[in-house]
Amino acid sequence: FLNTQSEAMAIVDEGGRAQALLTAETLLGWVAAGGGNAQQQAVGSLLSDAPTVMSPDASVTDGVIAMGRATTPAIAITADGTPHGRLQAIVTSADLALLFGEQPANLLRDIRLARGLPELRELNRRARALTLEYLTGAPAVEWLARLTHLIDAAIVTRILTLKGVDQAVGCWCFCGSSGRGESLTKLAPHLAVLLAEADDEALARDQYADMLDALHECDYLPRSLPFEPGFYVARIHEWKARYRDWIRDPVMHEMARARTLFDVRPVHGRRSLWQQ
């Protein structure tokens, strides 16, 4: 790293296939965890996640989204776009900086490391400014919508982490335009919480109210919703009963008011509850 000034290196097998990408952050994490004998330990022992792989003809915007989702800020380009293809190049956030004044991958990384709501507010403002800058025509809508979804999900997840909400308690989901990954504006993500039978519902409702306040502090605009906030936090058996009623008798049970709840995407917590 010091000699080449590279942000990432590829670990390849005998056939030239990328097995993993090693970054300076990987090495720093190893050191922070206690490290070991740097002269004797194999570099392969530092690696865990498979690299994000793309084909040479993938668009730059696809690369931006893929890098935003990845745990490593680099992408492996292979001959056929699969993990089994021969490695051709590595693309890092520094490469994307040539095309973007504000680097989307760095924004997402900074959101995941933010130390408080003021920092998240500034990052959200920067993300929305980036969206406006590149929203130059219809072709840009799709990739910007995917990017803003990643940003909203990262902000919500970071708020929950800062507030100490356990991953094992419930499943936090996006609904409506947020659930479809189509929310480009500053409207706060539309949230619903699915709880297991043993989860503390009163605590979850308090956390939901705290989340709405936190999103406001992060410079989101409040949404006008058809139900009271407490309605969107319920145990899984109650959610199942609601959906059965909406489908069986949509008129009497006012299914029209619940239309946003038919686009639900999990963003934090126990995904198995959403699958139910």
Query: Is residue 15 very low, low, confident or very high in pLDDT (cuts 50, 70, 90)?
Result: confident
For residues 179 and 265, the answer to whether their CB atoms sit within 8 Å is yes
Cα(113)–Cα(143) distance, integer angstroms: 24
Of 166 and 146, more confident: 146
φ, ψ at 138 (rounded to 5°) = -55, -40
Mean pLDDT, rounded, for 52-62:
82
Q: Quote the crossing angle between the two packed helices 117-134 and 138-162, to the nearest 10°.
A: 170
Cα(128)–Cα(133) distance, integer angstroms: 9
Cα(79)–Cα(53) distance, integer angstroms: 10
Query: Is residue 21 very low, low, confident or very high in pLDDT (cuts 50, 70, 90)?
Result: confident
Mean pLDDT, rounded, for 266-273:
94
Tell me the pLDDT tens digit for each residue of 194-222: 999 999 999 999 999 999 999 999 999 99
Tell me the pLDDT tens digit for each residue of 59-102: 777 877 777 777 667 788 888 888 888 888 888 777 766 566 66
For residues 112 and 156, the answer to whether their CB atoms sit within 8 Å is no
Q: How far is CA 177 from CA 31, 105, 118, 265, in A?
A: 42, 23, 26, 10
Of 165 and 191, more confident: 191
Contacts with 220 (C-beta within 8 Å, 6 or more apart), sequence order: 124, 186, 187, 188, 189
pLDDT score for 71: 65
**Has residue 1 got a pLDDT over 60?**
no
Of 251 and 140, more confident: 251
Q: Which amino acid is at 229?
A: P
Cα(103)–Cα(141) distance, integer angstroms: 18
